[in-house]
Each structure stands twice: as C-alpha cells, then as structure tokens.
Amino acid sequence: MGLEPLFQAWSYFRRRKFRECADVCSQLLERPPGEQELDSEYTVFQAAWNLKTRALTEMVYVDEIDMDQEGIAEMILDENAIAQVARPGTSLKLPGTSQGGGPSPAVRPVTQSGRPITGFVRPSTQSGRPSTMEQAIRTPRTALTARPITSASGGYVRLGTASMLTNPDGPFINLSRLNLTKYAQKPKLAKALFEYIFHHENDVKNALDLAALATEHAQFKDWWWKVQIGKCYYRLGLYREAEKQFKSALKQQDMVDTILYLAKVYLRLDQPVTALNLFKQGLDRFPGEVTLICGIARIYEEMNNISSAAEYYKDVLKQDNTHVEAIACIGSNHFYSDQPEIALRFYRRLLQMGVYNCQLFNNLGLCCFYAQQYDMTLSSFERALFLAENEEETADVWYNLGHVAVARALLQTASSLAPHMYEPHFNVAILSEKVGDLQRSYTAAQKSEEAFPGHVDTQQLIKQLKEHFAML
C-alpha cells in the first residue's frame, strides 16, 4: 500500500530529494481552476504549494553568510568610502599593515593586493580588492574559478539563470500577478514565498516589498522579517539601511546568524575593527560559538595579524577539533614560520579526516621536503598531479616540483600551463641568470612583469640585465 501523496512529498523533502518532492507536489496541485484558490484555511493545496516552494528554493539555495567576492563593479561604484587613506590597522584595503609579528610578506606568498595567502580557500581572500583598474580587469588567480570575477551581483544573476533549470516548463509562480499584500497576511505562506522569490527567482525588489508588508502586518515585532529586509538591502548595496535592520533584529532576538550578517555589512564598509568588536560582544552572549571565533580569526588574518589569527584558530579547535579551515590555516602558519614538521601533523590530520585533493597532497609534499622526509616527497607530488583537476592546479604542483628539483624544465612546464602566473616565469629568469643564460632570463623576466607589473624583484632583475647588456 502506497503512502499518502502529501506525506510522501514531505518524506522526499526530509531526505533532500527535492526534485521528487516537487514532482509529487505538482501532481497534488493539478486540480480544476476553481479549486486552486488559496483559502483562508490551511488546506492540502496550500500545504502542497508551500512544500513545492520550499523544495524549489532548496535546489538553488546558497548560504550568504560567508563574505562574498568584491569585483570590478563594486570597486568602481563604491559610494561608502569615508576616507581615501585609512589609519593603519583599521582597513582591509591597505596591504602591509601587519601587527602581529608574524612572517613577513617577503617569506609568506601574497596576492597582488599585498594580502598574505591564507591556508583555506574563501571567496573574500582570493584576490583582494584591486588597487587599479588594470589589475581589476586582469583575470585574478583563484582556486574557485578560472573566469574573471566581474562582480558579486553577477553571481546572483547566474544563480537566477540556473534556477530556470528547475522549472523547464516555465516559472512555478508568476510574480507579476501576485497580490503581495494578501500573502503578507498569511505568515505560514509568506516566509516560504519570500525565500522562493529571494533565492530561486533572484527578484530582490519583490522580495523586499513582501518583507516590508509582512513586517508591517506583524507590527514590527518579528525579528525574522527584519533580517530578511536587511539581506535585501545588502543585496541592493544599501549597507547602512541593512545595518539598521540587523541591529533592530538583534535587539528583539539574539541570533548568531544575525551577528554574522551584521559583521558582513561592516566588512563591506571596510570597518574590520567594528566587526571584531561585534564578534567579541557576540562571544559574551554565545560563549564558545565556533562561527564567531572563526570570524575573528579571518579578520585578523586579512589584516595581516597572523599571530593573533593563529591563536583564535587554536580556540576554534578547542571547540571543534575537526574544523577543516582552522586546521588548514594553522598548518599553513606553521609552515611559513619554518616549522614544517608541525605543519605536517596538521595536514596529515586533514588526510585522516577524509580530505583528499590536489592541494592537500601538494602541501604534504612541501612539508615532507622541508622536513627532510625525502621518501614521501615525490610520492606526495605524484598523487597531487594525479588529483589535479585543471591546468592551474597542475601548474602549482610543477612549480613546487621546480623548487624541489631545482630544474628549469619543470618551471617552464608550469609557465606554459599557466602563463598568467608570474612565479614560474620569475623563477625561470632567476635560474637562467644563475647558469649564465641571460637572454632566456630576460625573456622570462619580461613575461613575469606582464603577469604582475608591480613585482619589485622582477623589476630589479630586469634592471640588472639591462645594465649588463648595456656594458656589452
């Protein structure tokens, strides 16, 4: 005997089989036109409509708490800048504001904006804020995508386009015909409808209108709706208005997610000190909350205060000893602090936890080499090459192999696979200069300068070579 259809749809939803859930709900909604009106009572039709809306939303849902990438559009149209030159230690846009006594940027690799490369891939730490328009137009080095990052809003547009695949026959809800005032008075339906409009349809304007009507119907006493209005304002770039909504929501209900959203606003306004204070106040109310401690560590890391970041990542591991980001960042910090043996322990821990990718074996190979465990070095790099998913990752492995073997051939392979990376070209130039092949050195140095015009060592090498050629 089969399950009742609505219960079966709910079972699919609980097991995250959203496509099957939506199909069953669609069958329940196939009724004569006269029966498809949403009555005042919570009918089976309303339940099926609500469940299908939630299923379609979950199919394209993306958690927006993590800081998103700031691209060209946000750089040009930044109307929130208060001062062109911020005080040291108060801005994320100023490279070289190290305060913690950690490894210098000359030892630890940095991005083109001057920010130290972190041990864990996060959207906000891949390329940093471009300092010039020329740097912004260039394809940034990122482990997430090989395409140029245009703007955060472009990602939302792509999500909205991808949502069309969930409804090949057309949109499930015609937003232009919705009576938002009517739905705002039905709390059981309004929240599911808002998330569908906001995440699935990517229609921020209608979502904001619905949230405003719903919070007015709730007499401004529902903190959830204030958070949603804040999310809409943030998506529209109205950060000060979003700040007011999140603060008002926190006064009514203390929630960790609301603190994270508010900190995200402060980071976009380039106020990391305010975000740090907010996280620390949140820890007073939610002691030991991992996401808040991790947020503090991320900000310190982005402000080049590496030692403080490492301490907070250690606090994260005291609460959650399987936190991948904290383990990776601490391991990276130990490696660049000239402690490869300790870094090797952390990376082996990730391997024991089931992390199995090119980046991990690449780091294991480097740690084994500098810890003089040569028997494991080449095998780790071979495994990294086997697991590489694109030319960028392959180039990174060959680049490190070039350091291990000190061979120009391997570095030339890396430069041919990823010509936009300046590191292989620069090292080919250095090695060629050491062995006396000055013409090849000058050619490689020019390619390095094209990939990263602001690299000081490349400019010095070119100057030395030009002086040598002038003496001939």
What does CATH list as the number for 394-472?
Answer: 1.25.40.10
Determine the pLDDT at residue 92.
Answer: 73
**Confidence (pLDDT) at 148:** 34
Per-residue burial over 25-47, b if 16 or more Cβ lie within 10 Å, else e, is beebeeeeeeeeeeeeeeeebbb
**Which residue, 130, 134, 133, 97, is CA-closest to 113?**
130
- Which has the higher per-residue pLDDT, 91 or 260? 260
Tokens for 78, please give them: 């930044």
- Distance separating alpha carbons of residues 73 and 189, to the nearest angstrom: 35
Q: Strand, helix or coil at 362?
A: helix
3-state SS string over 32-79?
CHHHCCCCCCCCHHHHHHHHHHHHHHHHHCCCCCCCCCCCHHHHHCCC
Q: Tell me: the pLDDT tens digits for 40-50?
A: 445 778 888 88
Alpha carbon distances (Å) from 158 to 67, 163, 426: 18, 9, 36
Reference 166, options 318, 374, 19; nearest CA is 19
Percent of the chain at pLDDT > 90 equals: 36
Q: Which residue has the higher pLDDT, 458 or 97?
A: 458
Spatial CB neighbours of 250, under 8 Å, sequence gap ≥ 6: 223, 258, 259, 262
- As a whole number, the mean pLDDT across the chain is 78
Distance CA 433, CA 196 (A): 60
Instruction: Give me the phi and psi of 266, to 5 degrees please.
Output: -65, -35
Q: Is the dihedral of CA 268, 272, 278, 279 positive or negative?
A: positive
Q: Which helix (H) or strand (E) holds 286?
A: none
pTM reported for the whole predicted model:
0.73
More confident residue, 454 or 253: 253
- Please answer whether residues 197 and 206 qualify as being in contact, where contact means their C-beta atoms are separated by less than 8 angstroms: yes
Answer yes or no: are the C-beta atoms of 149 and 69 closer than 8 Å. yes
Q: Which two tokens stand for residue 225?
A: 């709706």
How large is the average pLDDT for residues 275-290? 94
Res 152 pLDDT > 50: no
Tokens of 102: 């950690």
Mean per-residue pLDDT, 181-194: 88
Which pLDDT score, from 0 to 100, does residue 147 have?
32
**What pLDDT, on a 0 to 100 scale, did the predictor assign at position 74?**
53
Structure confidence by residue, pLDDT tens digits, 387-436 = 988 888 888 888 887 766 555 566 666 777 777 778 778 877 776 776 56
68 band by pLDDT with thresholds 50, 70 and 90: low
Is residue 308 within 8 A of residue 100, CB to CB? The reply is: yes
Q: Chain centroid to CA 318: how far?
A: 24
Least reliable range by pLDDT among 141-145, 189-193, 301-305:
141-145
Residue recorded with tokens 């601490």: 330
Selected residue with higher pLDDT from 247 and 441: 247
pLDDT the model gives residue 177: 81
Sequence-ordered list of residues with C-beta below 8 angstroms from that of 212, at least 6 positions apart, any chain? 229
- Torsional class of 43: left (φ above 0), alpha (ψ -120 to 50), beta (otherwise): beta
Q: End-to-end alpha-carbon separation of the chain, Å? A: 93
Percent above pLDDT 70 for the chain:
72
Burial class (CB in 10 A: 0-12, 13-18, 19+), 470: exposed
